[in-house]
C-alpha cells in the first residue's frame, strides 16, 4: 500500500476515510487503527514500516501497477543471488578459476534454493532486497580492501544505509 501511495501521491501516508467518521462519532481511533499504521489524524496515517522497500517498489508500481510491483521481491532475489555469486567469486579469488566459478555457483544456488529466500520472495516482503543490499555491502567492502579506494568504502556505507532503510533490523 505504501508503494502505491508513494507512486500516486509522492507521500508514504495513506488516507483512511473511516477515521473521520470515527472522530465525528467520538469513537477512539486507536482501536480501529489499521494494522501497520499509526492512528490516523484528519484521516491521514503514517505507516510504522521503513520506507526503503516501498520506495524501491514505487517505480515498478508506477510503470505497471500492482502486477509489476509484485515482481519486485523475485527480482530482488535474483539480484541477491547474483551479488552472492560475485561475493563468493571475489572471496575465492585465490583459488583456480574453475574453483571460483564453482564456489560462486554453489553460493548463488544456496541463496536461490533457500526455503526462507524462496518463500519471502513469493510475497512482496523486503527480505530479498535486504539480502541484495547486504551482499552489496560486503562486496563493496571486499573491493575496498583489495583496491584501497575510498569510493568502495563509501559505496559499502551507502548500501548498508539503504539496507537499514529497507528493513530496520538489518
Q: Compute the distance between CA of residue 67 and CA of residue 72 in angstroms, rounded to an integer.
A: 10
User: pLDDT tens-digit profile of 55-75?
Assistant: 999 999 999 999 999 999 999
Lowest mean pLDDT among 41-45, 82-86, 127-131, 153-157: 41-45
Residue 57 burial class via C-beta count within 10 angstroms: exposed 0-12, middle 13-18, buried 19 and up: buried
pLDDT at residue 76, as a whole number: 95
**95 has pLDDT over 80:** yes
- Percent of the chain clearing pLDDT 90 (strictly above): 61
Grid coordinates of 169:
533490523
Cell of 163: 539496507
Q: Looking at per-residue confidence, does 111 or 16 come out higher?
A: 111
Confidence of residue 31 (pLDDT cuts 50, 70, 90): confident
pTM to 2 decimals?
Answer: 0.85
3-state class of 78 per DSSP?
Answer: helix
The single residue listed with the C-alpha cell 568502495 is 152
The residue whose grid cell reads 534454493 is 113
The length of the chain in residues reads 170
Amino acid at each position: 500500500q505504501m508503494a502505491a501511495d508513494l507512486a500516486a501521491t509522492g507521500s508514504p501516508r495513506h488516507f483512511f476515510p473511516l477515521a473521520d467518521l470515527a472522530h465525528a462519532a467520538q469513537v477512539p481511533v486507536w482501536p480501529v487503527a489499521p494494522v501497520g499504521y499509526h492512528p490516523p489524524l484528519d484521516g491521514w496515517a503514517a505507516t510504522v514500516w521503513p520506507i526503503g522497500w516501498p520506495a524501491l517498489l514505487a517505480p515498478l508500481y508506477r510503470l505497471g501497477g500492482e502486477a509489476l510491483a509484485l515482481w519486485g521481491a523475485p527480482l530482488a532475489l535474483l539480484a541477491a543471488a547474483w551479488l552472492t555469486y560475485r561475493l563468493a567469486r571475489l572471496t575465492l579469488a585465490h583459488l583456480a578459476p574453475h574453483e571460483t566459478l564453482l564456489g560462486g555457483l554453489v553460493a548463488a544456488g544456496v541463496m536461490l534454493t533457500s526455503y526462507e529466500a524462496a518463500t519471502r520472495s513469493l510475497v512482496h516482503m523486503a527480505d530479498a532486497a535486504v539480502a541484495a543490499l547486504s551482499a552489496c555491502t560486503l562486496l563493496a567492502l571486499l573491493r575496498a580492501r583489495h583496491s584501497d579506494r575510498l569510493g568502495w568504502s563509501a559505496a559499502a556505507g551507502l548500501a548498508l544505509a539503504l539496507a537499514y532503510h529497507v528493513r530496520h533490523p538489518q
